[in-house]
Structure 1
Amino acid sequence: MMNAFKLALSGAVIAMTIAGGTMAASAEQAIPSRVRGTITAVSPDSLEVHTRDGKDVQVALTKETSVAAIELTTLDAIKPDSYIGTAAAPQPDGSLKALEVHIFPASMRGAGEGTRPWDLTPNSTMTNGAVGSIVGSDGRTLTVKYQNGEKKVFVPADVPIVSIVPADRTLLKAGVKAVLLATKNADGSLVARSVSVGTNGAAPPM
């Protein structure tokens, strides 16, 4: 359960070495993708989601599917050594401009550490690491350190900052905004590894 939870919320990329046609197809089906949208229906073993690109999809739930609450917070909640993730837009000088920032619970420290491409917007990245310092006259520039590197991240005043909180399936309701990490079966059906649910009407921003 915890391994699935870490995978879902950290944005870690699964790297797979594949050889052979049948094996390649099977492995590709196992690579998870994100489903972003609004839950429209809930049953004990599935969710229906209206995605942000206008599609209606059904996603199966299993006993291993984890759930997390995504709660809005403020920049003040980020302290030196906080473990965070940020989807961001690369800048010409090599720094990042945050599109969102999420604060991991202590139990997930180290999850998805590093920087990688992301699919929030074209050319966006995801960087997970520990905050080394908070600098700038307005305190909105963070250094995010990870193994073998670090990034300087500017956090604009209008970007969402959220905390990730482990939760249960009572949060899965019609009308709730969510991000699911799902894998595709050979028949094209989707299975959720995790569901991250916005609270108080907020959408998970990652």
Structure 2
Amino acid sequence: MNSIFGKLARRSALASAMSLAVLMSVGVAQAADAPAQRVGVRGEITALEGDALKVHTLGNEEVTVGLTKDTQVRGVTLARISDIKPGSYIGTAAMPGPDGTLTAMEVHVFPPEMAGTGDGHRPFDLAPGSSMTNGRVGELKVANGRTLTLSYKGGEKTVVVPENVPVVNLVPGDRSLLKPGVKVALFAVPEVDGRLTALGISAGENGVKPPM
């Protein structure tokens, strides 16, 4: 009788171990198939060596980010709220209010040829709970609390732009903007070996600090 129980126990343990192994292998496969997580890097360029961009971050860290032929570079220049018109295509990092109205933390204005870039509303990492909304401006009330409506595919948001919020232009750029001392905000993806590869870089022109 004991031998029978012993065999049953060993079979049960073996089955449990096999099940655990299957679950682990499935988990690893799912992790490998999952979309790569984007990493935000904000700071000042210290060097550009070939395809390696070195940045001293706002968190006082030294980070090296790889560049590829597909890495997009955009310039950031100062703008004014008056540069925004009905029909302008803009983006804004913002915090939501109780009624769903967004309070902008920054606003960036796209040139006409970049309209449609990143269209939509999604979580953002500028602050806990913040979002990024890219869309076309509808109603604009500059004289009434700087309030605007922002329409994108599948939705619409009301955004209030406080007086002290930075407004900038995003303009087409290239690697010539990536020089030591230039302030940048970029997003990168981690590779299998842990290195970061930049997807897109916003580089301040004439000392401008990208606020996004």
Offset, 1:117: 1.1
Contact 1:29–1:184 (Cα < 8 Å) also in 2: no
The one-letter code matched in structure 1 to 2:156 is E
**Within 2, Cα distance between the matches of 1:125 and 1:187?**
30
Q: Whose helix fraction is larger, Structure 1's or Structure 2's?
A: 2
Pair 1:158–1:27, CA change in 2 (3 A): farther
Contact 1:29–1:185 (Cα < 8 Å) also in 2: no
Q: What's the Cα RMSD here? A: 1.8
In terms of mean alpha carbon deviation, does 106-115 or 142-151 score higher? Answer: 106-115
Q: Does 1:57 align with 2:63?
A: yes
**Within 1, Cα distance between the matches of 2:33 and 2:203?**
28
User: If the length of structure 2 is used for normalisation, what is the TM-score?
Assistant: 0.82
Q: Does 1:113 align with 2:119?
A: yes
Pair 1:133–1:29, CA change in 2 (3 A): closer
Bigger radius of gyration: 2
Helix, strand or coil at the partner of 2:32: helix
Of 146, 149, 159 in structure 1, the residue corresponding to residue 152 of structure 2 is 146
Contact 1:85–1:102 (Cα < 8 Å) also in 2: yes
Contact 1:47–1:60 (Cα < 8 Å) also in 2: yes
**Within 2, Cα distance between the matches of 1:53 and 1:26?**
29
Q: Does 1:162 align with 2:168?
A: yes
Pair 1:159–1:57, CA change in 2 (3 A): same
How many residues in Structure 1 have an aligned counterpart in Structure 2?
Answer: 188
Map of 1:7 onto structure 2: none
Per-residue CA distance 1:106-150 (angstroms, 9 max, x = gap)? 222222222111110111111111100112634611111122321
Q: Which runs of 5+ in 2 are unaligned?
A: 1-24
Of 36, 46, 50 in structure 2, the residue corresponding to residue 30 of structure 1 is 36
Map of 1:122 onto structure 2: 128
Of 127, 133, 138 in structure 2, the residue corresponding to residue 132 of structure 1 is 138
Of 187, 191, 202 in structure 2, the residue corresponding to residue 185 of structure 1 is 191
Map of 1:14 onto structure 2: none
Map of 1:9 onto structure 2: none
Helix, strand or coil at the partner of 2:140: strand
The one-letter code matched in structure 2 to 1:190 is L
Helix, strand or coil at the partner of 1:194: strand
Contact 1:42–1:173 (Cα < 8 Å) also in 2: yes
In terms of mean alpha carbon deviation, does 110-119 or 90-99 score higher? Answer: 110-119
Contact 2:145–2:162 (Cα < 8 Å) also in 1: no
Helix, strand or coil at the partner of 2:201: strand
Q: Which runs of 5+ in 1 are unaligned?
A: 1-18
Helix, strand or coil at the partner of 1:152: strand
